[in-house]
Structure 1
Amino acid sequence: MKKTLITTVLLAGLSLSGAGFAQVATPWVVRFGAHTVDPKSNNGSLVGGTLAARVSSDTKPTFSVEYMFNKNLGLWVQAAWPFEHEIKLNGVKAGTTKQLPPTITLNWHFMPDSAISPFLGAGLNMTHFFSTRTYGPLAGASLKVDNSYGLAAHAGVDFRLGERWLATADLYWIDIQPDVKVNGAKVGTVKIDPLVYGMSLGYRF
């Protein structure tokens, strides 16, 4: 079901991108800022429900590029410095992991000619987990957090600072639910499903 939804969103985005929109004079927008990945409070359980999982939040620098097909419609690609999260099981630190969550969204900017322009979008996310380490109850064990593929919702506001400069405040909800393996055996799925929020400074060219 999830793969079908991802394929549908991707095909819709590709179809819109080739729809022949009149280009704007400055179609590219680059943004630099910082965002916080804040997992939901209940991250599920492992080993048949015996271990309650909790994943911590983290804040890192971010970078994005948006291509405007016209004044309203833009394709946004978000990247970041690797985020690092602490994993607790039944309240005890059991591991840490790093992740890169590149996200692509198709956004609709409602008032592109105004000083304040809100936008809404939807798209896809692929989260790659790496450098996973174990502590406490899992010390010495091999802990693996699989990559996750899911949908993303995006909302934000652009504040015009000049002809080419802008500031942006935005918020994502991302479907991140990786499988977790200990010594090669799957022990469950962690439901991270974070809100990702932050600020950035952008330039049009």
Structure 2
Amino acid sequence: MAGVPGQSPVELAVFDVSSGSANRTAYAWDPGSSSNLTDLAVTPDGKDVVTASGAPYKQEVFKLSDLSEDGSYATNPYPNAVDIAPNGAVAAGTFSWYDPHVHIFEPGVSEPVRQYDFPNTGGSSGSDTLAASGLAWAPDASKLFAVSYNDSNVYSLRVLDDPTKAGTAHVVTAAATATRAKSLTVTGKVEEAVTIAGNDHQCP
């Protein structure tokens, strides 16, 4: 599988190298009306390739057989990374100052099961951003490694634990006003959240 990085529109090709030579078996110019290819990853079953291009704002999926469209994973501006775990889970990354940067998907499901938003370790108004092609799964998919950087070009390695597990949300109810120094009753429940924003371990 090959693609031309940074080119607009995107250009993709599939090659069979089983004979010892590279024989092109599929080719696509401007697949999915995408531009500025940054990263790509092939699914474990060898059926599809998932791409990360600056536009459109989603990680697009193409069949390896003929590079026709085969779905997508909805993310944010601007897609710049993708990696696929051995179990098929997709980690999609975006260069987004004010939105989540890492989006975790179950295979073939277009909505993320979990999202991560990096903190701001620099001096800008936006958060740290994900480096291009800056995602990598642990072999057992128990962790996802992400490389981010701030506006001073200080890089961080972030370790995201259990990324395929949906987070939990705490819903509480309390009185709108209360007397100071008096006890206040708060009730609530814990719910499974489809999407969360959070930060995991950071190693400068």
TM-score by length of 1: 0.26
Higher Rg: 2
Higher RCO (CA 8 Å, separation ≥ 6 residues): 1
TM-score by length of 2: 0.26
Greater fraction strand: 1
Greater fraction helix: 1
